[in-house]
A and B are shown apart, each in its own frame.
Chain A
Amino acid sequence: MRKSNFWGLLFVSPFILGCLVFFVFPVGFSAYISLTKWDMFNPPQFIGLKNWVNALKDPVFWIAFRNVFYFALIFVPIQTILALIIAYLLNQKIRFKGLYRVIYFLPVVTPWVAGATIWKFIYRYENGLLNYFLRLIGLNGSYWFDSEKWWVAIGSLAIMNVWKGLGQSMVMFLAGLQNVPSDVIEAAEIDGANRHQIFRKIVVPIISPMVFLVMIMSTISAFTAFDVFLTMFDIFSLPVRNSIVNLMVYREAFLYGKMGPASAMAWILFIIILVITMLQKQFEKRWVHYDS
């Protein structure tokens, strides 16, 4: 080995070691555990694909997937579009710009438990803020996160998740908007383009790589969302209709001590996220414009 290689490897070895211990090993170990029956105390017993088959045959697991897909379907577009609009507005020459940015970013640093308390107040049936306004305009109000209809319950949590994640996406878009050359905008203005046309025809194409990134990140975050469900739903009395894959993984692993089924479910979820991300990547060339 060349001397320079040796020193190079030596210097990166802490990172490589960390990666091996904290990433490669857990991933490999969880794949192995998904093929076993393991109670976290006695040695794992190899049972082949039983956990995978059981998970795929379990109707509750598919209900949980339906819910996560639905959650992502609401969360990803709303979050992406809203964050983009807010970022664009906050990139204009307006007063108190910094203050607005802080306000929109605040939910990101708000603990989930605190956020859940506020949203439970908003979503309450009798004295909730949302129903209060609905009743003001003559509507009946509704049950939201505690609705009997799964699509209302999951949908209301998706909206809550938008509130939490909006700031993060907004910051990413703001970073992207710094790359929009002002001379291009000025040229468009001279050519008579209005604000709407500038936004659609110039700004969005230029920051499309960032939009793509935000969409990928939001999709992953939707499929891995956990805290929002844990804080809003009661895990011990969760109706089947509101099942969520991550809650099932958590429950199997840390409440029941059944690491095998939990790992199998987590791997199936990973594979699905991977497929969706690859699909998104396939469509990337159609609408994402890179400088080169």
Chain B
Amino acid sequence: MKKKLFSVVLIITLVASLLAGCKTKDNNPSSTSDTKTDVSQTEKTEEKEPEPPKPITISLGLPGGYDVTNEEIIKGFQDAYPHITLDIDEAPWGDFTKKIMTQIAGGNAPDVWFQENAAVIGYGAKGAAEDLKPFIDRDLNIDEYVVSTLLSAEVNGKVFGVPHGGNPIALAYNKKLFDEANVPYPTDDWTYEDMIEAAKLLTRDTDGDGKTDVWGFLVGGGITDGWFPWIKSAGGQALDETKTQAVFNDEKSLKGITEWVNMIHTYKVSPTLSAMREMQGARQMFGNGLGAMMFLQYSLGETVLNKNYPDLDYDTVKIPLGFDGGRTVPNVGNTWLIFSKAKPENKEAAWTFLKYYLSADVQKTVASSGSTIPVNKEALTYVESLSFKPLNKKAYTEGIAEGGVTLDENKCWNEWRTAAQPIFNEILEAKVDPAEGLDYIQKEVQKVLDEHYK
């Protein structure tokens, strides 16, 4: 009887271990949600050493090369996963984004690469980007990440990529100019009204020639630091929640855009766009002490201001509270994606790379570069301890947590944004009335959206 019982237990254990073995070989991540348990069972039942993983080579696309992605991360991955060889496909950003289209068309795109989040969403809509939701569900503890950033490429429950890093905005201010004008430094409690009032005090004609020499605020003309946060400041929207309907012409958007234009033409606290272009742009003006405040994207602090103006005494606070009392922090990012036509084993190896990239230690390396805000919460805390300017990095990290939003990215983002931007330029240059301009933008953007969604 004992012998029989022993045989039954042995058979059950054997069958269970075989089933577990089958499961771990399955390439479909959605069917392996309990991989960890299976692996531990296998380990208990089989005392054999696990087979060394098969060597595999995957191609990794790096737009901007090691200027954008820290080489240390790539080397670290090769050391940690010697069986996965990375075949690096690097090119300057513009060249990479041009050639990737033809590579996708030819079916020979890299197994994994990163690009602008909007482009990745577009690839997802075409079917070129793998849905990473099953991988995320299987392997990541979502509580360890800033969810709004981690899932910035999510569309209808599918996640077409994971972040390379976030790049939010905050309000940057020049301490010296505030001191000279005897204006108290901004705080996280500031509202847009406070910012405008301070800008008026900071705008000065220092040499008495009747021309403004120091501007209180440097208005951005683009989407991230320009019209988008201003629309949001009054509770307005560019697109609705479905991202298929334009809502540029509502009253709130008009209020935000009117204030944006007023900064130049009514309050006269900011130079015109063309004047800023003459001076090589807002960042250079800020760096040269010609502007007291501006909306500053995180990456530009370390890569532009600190690099070109090491003596500039500046810091940041959170984007002010809007006219409606809410805070909105536009956060743009680049996103890693896995090519849908990659071989299953390459997808798995590519995901191994992405898991590695998202791990806390690697995310700290990402953070050290100062070019991007990591998505891992542990690394986010680490960012706050970094010693380069701006010292108050909480303006970004807490800003995202409090009001982080994407730029209403959808599969035709590039197209509708390009349709809207020239008209926003004309509005900001006071060539077009804001209400009239927003109506026109509404029509043009809706035309693009209809083409894609109807």
Give me the interface of A with B, judged by CB distance under 8 Å. 39-42, 124-127, 143, 146, 148, 235-240, 251, 253-257
Q: In the complex, which residues of chain A have a beta carbon less than 8 angstroms from the beta carbon of B421?
A: 236-237
Q: In the complex, which residues of chain B have a beta carbon less than 8 angstroms from the beta carbon of A148?
A: 431
Given the known interface contacts A124-B278, A256-B414, A256-B415, the answer about A239 and B422 at a Cβ–Cβ threshold of 8 Å is yes
* 24 examples of A-B residue contacts, CB within 8 angstroms: A39-B126, A40-B101, A40-B102, A40-B104, A41-B104, A41-B123, A41-B127, A124-B278, A125-B278, A143-B274, A146-B274, A146-B277, A148-B431, A235-B418, A236-B417, A237-B418, A238-B418, A238-B422, A239-B422, A251-B418, A255-B414, A255-B415, A257-B101, A257-B122
Q: Mark B99-123, 1 if CB is under 8 A from A, else 0.
A: 0011011000000000000000011
The distance in angstroms between the C-alpha atoms of A24 and B128, with both chains bound, is 29
CB distance from B295 to the nearest CB of A (A): 18
The distance in angstroms between the C-alpha atoms of A125 and B276, with both chains bound, is 11
* Chain B interface mostly: helix
Q: In the complex, which residues of chain A have a beta carbon less than 8 angstroms from the beta carbon of B128?
A: 41
Closest residue of chain B to A126, judged by CB?
A: B278
> Which one of A39, A41, A126, A239 has the greatest number of beta carbons of chain B within 10 Å?
A41
Closest residue of chain B to A40, judged by CB?
A: B105
Closest residue of chain A to B429, judged by CB?
A: A148
Is there contact, CB below 8 Å, between A257 and B422? no
Q: In the complex, which residues of chain B have a beta carbon less than 8 angstroms from the beta carbon of A237?
A: 418, 421-422, 424-425
Q: How many residues of B contact A (CB 8 A)?
A: 25
Q: B275 near A: Cβ within 8 Å?
A: yes
The distance in angstroms between the C-alpha atoms of A40 and B341, with both chains bound, is 14
Q: In the complex, which residues of chain A have a beta carbon less than 8 angstroms from the beta carbon of B412?
A: 256
The distance in angstroms between the C-alpha atoms of A47 and B123, with both chains bound, is 22
Q: B197 near A: Cβ within 8 Å?
A: no
Q: In the complex, which residues of chain B have a beta carbon less than 8 angstroms from the beta carbon of A124?
A: 278
CB distance from A237 to the nearest CB of B (A): 4
Q: In the complex, which residues of chain B have a beta carbon less than 8 angstroms from the beta carbon of A42?
A: 126-127
The distance in angstroms between the C-alpha atoms of A41 and B104, with both chains bound, is 6
Is there contact, CB below 8 Å, between A126 and B126? no
Q: Mark B430-442, 1 if CB is under 8 A from A, else 0.
A: 0100000000000
Q: In the complex, which residues of chain A have a beta carbon less than 8 angstroms from the beta carbon of B2?
A: none
The distance in angstroms between the C-alpha atoms of A190 and B102, with both chains bound, is 65
The distance in angstroms between the C-alpha atoms of A39 and B128, with both chains bound, is 10
Q: In the complex, which residues of chain B have a beta carbon less than 8 angstroms from the beta carbon of A254?
A: 98, 101
The distance in angstroms between the C-alpha atoms of A143 and B272, with both chains bound, is 14
Q: Which of B131-175 contact A (CB under 8 A)?
A: none
Q: B46 near A: Cβ within 8 Å?
A: no
Q: In the complex, which residues of chain B have a beta carbon less than 8 angstroms from the beta carbon of A125?
A: 274, 278
The distance in angstroms between the C-alpha atoms of A254 and B99, with both chains bound, is 9
CB distance from A190 to the nearest CB of B (A): 59
The distance in angstroms between the C-alpha atoms of A235 and B421, with both chains bound, is 10
The distance in angstroms between the C-alpha atoms of A124 and B281, with both chains bound, is 13
